[in-house]
A = this chain, B = another copy of it.
């Protein structure tokens, strides 16, 4: 960028990413917190409290799973912005669509824990997660296209690996939805296990290794 450009106000077509990141952090913080709203304090006589609390376990499991899945997506979004240095209007809009899908998670989680044996709710929850994952993929693909929003030093294997990784979870969710046709409980197990793929240190070291190698 020429020195002349740097001293002009940033043109609208090339903005800093600071406020997208701030909105992202706000949206994720609220969505994560609202998940707990589904855990309502039971209104029963004190003697029946243990049973009433125990019957909350599907909601509690739904809370934990969605919290961790949101954690994965937040981490994924944040990792992208480690490399993304600029934003343009289209990128702005793609982020808003991403947030739009993220904000639906408390609803689809609530649906899943209320009707946990139904394929329909499994499918809606899975589609919601797929939508978030695909939006992350679109964000990264758009940002890295001809390096127009990312650092020119970004190593191609990191770029490729990040793209593949963002498709990994949606692929599992497609499987989860299909398996749910046989038994919706199996889907729940897949939803709960996917996070392990991302937290599992092996994959992560590979990722870090690539990030350093470039």
Residue ranges of A at the interface with B (Cβ–Cβ < 8 Å): 7-13, 15, 19, 21-23, 25-37, 39, 41, 43, 46, 49-50, 53, 64, 67-68, 71, 74-75, 78-79, 81-83, 85, 88-90, 92-93, 96, 99-100, 103-104, 106-107, 110-111, 114-115, 117-118, 120-121, 124, 151, 153-154, 158, 199, 201, 204, 207-208, 211-212
Contact = CB atoms under 8 A, between A and B. Distances in A.
A152 to B, nearest CB: 10
B32 A99 contact: yes
Number of copies: 4
Nearest to A50: B120
A67 to B, nearest CB: 5
Main secondary structure of the interface of A (DSSP, over half): helix
A50 B34 CA distance: 25
A88 B209 CA distance: 13
A118 to B, nearest CB: 5
A78 B8 contact: no
For A41, A88, A104, the residue with the greatest tally of chain B CB atoms inside 10 Å of its CB is A41
Contacts of A79: 12, 15
Contact of A107 (B13, B36, B204): B36
Given A31-B33, A67-B100, A103-B36, A19 B25 contact: yes
Nearest to A150: B9
A28 B32 contact: no
A147 to B, nearest CB: 12
For A34, A81, A100, the residue with the greatest tally of chain B CB atoms inside 10 Å of its CB is A100
26 contacts: A9-B83, A9-B151, A10-B82, A11-B211, A12-B82, A12-B207, A12-B208, A12-B211, A13-B212, A15-B79, A19-B21, A22-B25, A26-B28, A26-B30, A27-B29, A27-B33, A29-B30, A32-B99, A32-B100, A33-B103, A35-B103, A49-B118, A71-B100, A75-B92, A78-B92, A89-B204
Contacts of A99: 32, 67, 71
Nearest to A26: B29
Nearest to A100: B67
